[in-house]
Amino acid sequence: MPRAEELVFPRRERFEDRRKEGQQRKLLDEFFDHATLLAISRLAGQGLFDAIDFPISSGKEGGVFRAHKGTELRAVKIYRISNTTFRRLPAYALEELRRESSVRNFGGLIVGWTRREHTILGRLDEAGVRVPKPLGHFRNVLVMEFIGDEQGAAPRLKDALVPDPAALYEDLVREFGAMIRRAKLVHGDLSPYNTLYHENRVVVIDVAQAIGSSHPEARRLLERDIGNFARYLTRLGHPVEPEEFLAAVGGDEVGPTAKE
């Protein structure tokens, strides 16, 4: 088993020019502290991946990296262990997390948040919602199916070229519908910014803040999610009324009286 440091950006994958080497060093310093490296080593030891290749995206809460297991690609999401991670969380999501977790320190909450995303991804996958399949997690590290191919990761919907907006609408109705009717969940922060577009179909990501369809906030959040996509579809030249969209996905099954 290689040392933990050797599992991140193996030399055969490293960029050649100094500027990109410097960017990698910055990412190493930001994300891969000792505890995270130990988590990566443990997950690699469980056979979930051989090594982490390079970053796909990074933000204030964490980053996503491409990894490989033999010839198969994987995605590794790493949350930053920091109290700033939670400053952007809505109150309802933090309340749900604290209710589910027995810890109150920020490190423990991050671990709980990572576990929650893994669990919700599995619940959505079982319900037939297109999400990255969860493969494993430990501490602040989550391993998932890689959405994309050897040429690169699938783009976010906001950056994708959509050839058929009407087909996209039907696809969104199917995904929202499966989320609500089968998984009994509302995403709560869904938009073209956190939806991937792969092989002309949407893939839902960033699901840790999802709540049950009977939650008091569920209806309001679903209406906001629907509004985000209604406006986006209108910009694509396929206008749709939010009320029509809401009814099509089963909005009447969302709210305090909904059964889970």
**Edge-first strand listing for the sheet containing 51-58:** 51-58, 62-69, 72-79, 141-145, 134-138
Share the mean pLDDT of the chain.
Answer: 86
**Catalytic pick from 33, 125, 206, 225?**
206
| 149 assigned to active site | no
Structure confidence by residue, pLDDT tens digits, 187-206: 999 999 999 999 999 999 99
Structure confidence by residue, pLDDT tens digits, 135-154: 999 999 999 999 999 889 99
pTM, full prediction: 0.86
Does the CA dihedral 1-73-8-143 come out positive or negative?
A: negative
pLDDT at 15: 47
Domains delineated in the chain: 4-149 (3.30.200.20), 154-253 (1.10.510.10)
**Catalytic pick from 17, 50, 159, 189?**
189
Does the CA dihedral 240-241-246-252 come out positive or negative?
A: negative
| 53 assigned to active site | no
By 3-state DSSP, what share of the chain in percent is helix, strand and coil, each rounded to 5?
A: 45, 20, 35
